[in-house]
Amino acid sequence: MFTAWAAASNPMAHIGKADRQRQLEQEEAGQHLFANRVRVYPKSVKGPVRRFKWAVLIFCLTLYYALPWLRWSRGVTQPNQAVLLDISHERFYFFNLEFWPQDIYYLTGLLIMASVGLFLVTSLAGRVWCGYTCPQTVWTDLFMWIEAKIEGDRNERMKRDAAPISLDTVWRKIAKHSAWLFIAFWTGGAWIMYYVDAPTVTVEFWTGTASVEVYFFTGLFTATTYLLAGWAREQVCTYMCPWPRFQAAMLDEQSLTVTYQGWRGEPRTRGKRIAGAGGDCIDCGACVTVCPTGIDIRDGIQLECINCGLCIDACNHVMERTGRPGWLITWDTLADQAAKADGTHASFRFFRARTIIYLSALVVAAGVMVAALLLRSGIGLSVQHDRAPLFVRLANGDLRNGYTIKIVNKAQTLAIFQLSTLGLPHAILTEIDENLGPADQLGLPVKADSVGTFHVFVSGQPAMLHDGSSPIDFALRDMLTEELTVYHSVFMGPHTGIQN
């Protein structure tokens, strides 16, 4: 769409400064397959988009750093941290919810929702994830802000880096890297607090009594934060991250993206404007200088663009100063741009096949998750039929099957569960390790906050079987709460007509 109008105009006229520079470098590089990294010196900018980006940044960082310190009372025996991924005890605490390794499918559901949600947002509004909420963007933005505070804005930094090293430059660089390292360390430390109790690990960390893992992972995430947000920056997005490579599959001509309105801007006019001639773009390059990935938005949608929209703020300033209407760079769809180039208008379509599919997948996943959470039982029961032997024949002619029964007791007290069977008349239950039975029901004790494993033998009469097996249900009742759980299983015997 974009190339349609671009090709129609003079191919050289709309080529921006960045383009020209890239072309020059390329010709110079000749046929080299590797090039020097072109350093990006993004200029600071003010405006509504920037303010929104700050707001998201503050929200995300506050959430990240503060969440581990949020307390949530769970009694004496359990940690009172609101969000805690307690790997050593195999528990995940999230406010009033407690997840055991058996509940891992909630994580699957969450990941499905996250990815489909990302697809939906991308198909609606482009790579807003990349531009606003991706940790790489958030920390890079924070690091750039510090850089600008200490070393000055774009022009000053470029001048400083080009000039011979001075004392002023040296102390500013040291101050910048120290600040970066401090934030990186804080970030790495906060990461650890999601896995171990925050106040405890803070004390342990500074008294030297924390585990080796704590120091190692704090160091690791300090290093990655410092390197990725301080040094690698846009290189991560352009060369490391897979998402820009396939996000194009979620975008179509109805997706809102940061767009240079070429039909309005072209042909670009420099210097004094002659009324009625030329487009609104004065080719000042403001949009290029503020870009954190160092691209020219006027080249259209491109892999490097993270859709942050800082160029919108930059251009609006210029438009205001030169007395032209704002939003030459704006959020728009390719379809609307094509229509506007023809003097019409195409309204934004929220509901498209793509968004409907993403939305329904999201609703289904969320519905299943919520239903599963609401319906989940406090008792976890799993019954596994012994595979070998499938059954044994007793001297009195009865058949006996063995089952491994696991009972999850999430309560903080010892619980007695009453186990009985349904579907196989005259079934007799025995548990050998606990010396229970034979009886038609057993009382199985499970310690607080743990999984009880029992090997239960069930004896039944061959006459009750059809074609060598019979369905059997294990009913488990919590003697305290009266909560009942049923697990479907099978009782096996020899096939009819085969005597063993």
Q: Which residues bind another protein (CB under 8 A)?
A: 23, 26-27, 29-37, 235, 239, 386-390, 392-397, 400, 402, 430, 432-433, 455, 457, 499-500
Q: Which residues contact 422 (CB under 8 A, 6 or more apart)?
A: 472, 473, 475, 486
Amino acid in position 397: G
3-state secondary structure of 154: helix
Q: Which residues contact 36 (CB under 8 A, 6 or more apart)?
A: none
Closest CA to 48 of 318, 316, 297, 328: 316
The answer to whether 313 touches 326, Cβ cutoff 8 Å, is: no
Minimum distance from residue 409 beta carbon to another protein (Å): 17
Minimum distance from residue 234 beta carbon to another protein (Å): 10
Minimum distance from residue 34 beta carbon to another protein (Å): 5
Residue 40 or 121 with smaller CB distance to another protein: 40
Minimum distance from residue 173 beta carbon to another protein (Å): 20
The answer to whether 436 touches 405, Cβ cutoff 8 Å, is: no
Minimum distance from residue 95 beta carbon to another protein (Å): 36
Residue 26 or 62 with smaller CB distance to another protein: 26
Residue 33 or 275 with smaller CB distance to another protein: 33
Residue 12 or 274 with smaller CB distance to another protein: 12
Q: Cα 141 to the chain's mean position, in Å?
A: 19
Taking the C-alpha atoms of residue 157 and residue 252, their distance in angstroms, rounded to an integer, is: 39
Minimum distance from residue 487 beta carbon to another protein (Å): 21
Helices 167-192 and 212-225: crossing angle in degrees, nearest 10, is: 130
Residue recorded with tokens 């934004």: 348
List 476's β-bridge partners, or say none. 419, 485
Residue 36 or 207 with smaller CB distance to another protein: 36
Question: How many C-beta neighbours within 10 Å does residue 402 have?
Answer: 19
Residue 433 or 482 with smaller CB distance to another protein: 433
Residue 365 or 399 with smaller CB distance to another protein: 399
Taking the C-alpha atoms of residue 187 and residue 226, their distance in angstroms, rounded to an integer, is: 10
Q: Report residue 230 as tokens.
A: 């301080």
Neighbouring C-alpha atoms within 13 Å toward the C-beta of 103: 21
Minimum distance from residue 165 beta carbon to another protein (Å): 23
Q: Cα 77 to the chain's mean position, in Å?
A: 31
Residue 276 or 497 with smaller CB distance to another protein: 497
Minimum distance from residue 452 beta carbon to another protein (Å): 12
User: Furthest-apart CA pair in the chain: how many Å?
Assistant: 109
Cα distances from 36 to residues 29, 33, 235, in angstroms, run: 10, 10, 12
List 381's β-bridge partners, or say none. 407
Q: Rg of the chain's alpha carbons, rounded to an integer? A: 33
Minimum distance from residue 18 beta carbon to another protein (Å): 13
Closest CA to 110 of 86, 141, 85: 85
Minimum distance from residue 397 beta carbon to another protein (Å): 4
Residue 133 or 461 with smaller CB distance to another protein: 461
Quote the DSSP letter at residue 71.
B
Residue 30 or 276 with smaller CB distance to another protein: 30
H or E, element range at 250: none
Minimum distance from residue 389 beta carbon to another protein (Å): 2
H or E, element range at 429: strand 428-431
Residue 283 or 299 with smaller CB distance to another protein: 299
